[in-house]
Chains A and B, each alone.
Chain A
Amino acid sequence: AQSVTQPDIHITVSEGASLELRCNYSYGATPYLFWYVQSPGQGLQLLLKYFSGDTLVQGIKGFEAEFKRSQSSFNLRKPSVHWSDAAEYFCAVGARGGGADGLTFGKGTHLIIQP
């Protein structure tokens, strides 16, 4: 069965500092990988996704993520965070093709931005 682990429940970063959120997955083949962001009381907004090709993926709001097959990781990075980045971040894995199994999400990392 597929699974996603986000080891950090909370992360506190100073505004302007760099950010890295960790994600490890377990899947039998090369999956689709996603990062979503959720603000309080809101739905999920897609930041970026990896399907194939270049393992460094660029997303919205200045985020990027790197797929490392050997480490089963898909870590999210941002060089300089803004106070508006404070939110919950979810990593997710999905099956390739027209899979009807939905996405498997991690438990999320709560990002706190210090002024």
Chain B
Amino acid sequence: ETGVTQSPTHLIKTRGQQVTLRCSSQSGHNTVSWYQQALGQGPQFIFQYYREEENGRGNFPPRFSGLQFPNYSSELNVNALELDDSALYLCASSVDRGPSRYTFGSGTRLTVV
């Protein structure tokens, strides 16, 4: 197992810009979920992809979007960045459709200035 790898580890963006965060999952992990963790808070569910289709979404606006690729990699895209988007973004992958066997990555720390 190679684990779940996220890139970049840190980045700084300006309000209004767009950002793409990347996640590389383990082979066979057909489900990937993304979470936003604001400072001092628990992670919040953004959305989940199963076999390249979004099949679940939390309370996040449409400017948060994603893609999942056949090679077990995925992306989180955020448009029109706001200051409140500053957070640690975590990717979690699983062989199951649900969250029962997540493996989390170490996250990407996004700062919006």
Q: Which residues of A contact B (CB under 8 A)?
A: 4, 32, 36, 41-46, 49, 51, 90, 92, 94-108
Contacts and interface: CB of A to CB of B under 8 A. Distances in A.
Secondary structure of the A contact surface, majority rule: loop
Contacts, number: 73
B2 interface: no
Interface of B: 4, 33, 35, 40-45, 48, 50, 55-56, 58, 90, 92, 96-100, 102, 104-107, 109
A43 B45 contact: no
Contacts of A100: 48, 50, 55-56, 97-98
B42 A90 contact: yes
B43 to A, nearest CB: 5
A114 B90 CA distance: 30
21 contacts: A32-B98, A41-B109, A44-B102, A94-B100, A95-B98, A98-B96, A98-B98, A99-B56, A99-B98, A100-B48, A100-B56, A100-B97, A101-B58, A102-B35, A102-B45, A102-B58, A103-B43, A103-B99, A105-B44, A107-B41, A108-B42
Secondary structure of the B contact surface, majority rule: loop
Contacts of A44: 43, 90, 92, 102, 104
A42 B107 CA distance: 7
Nearest to A45: B104
Contacts of B48: 100-102
A53 to B, nearest CB: 14
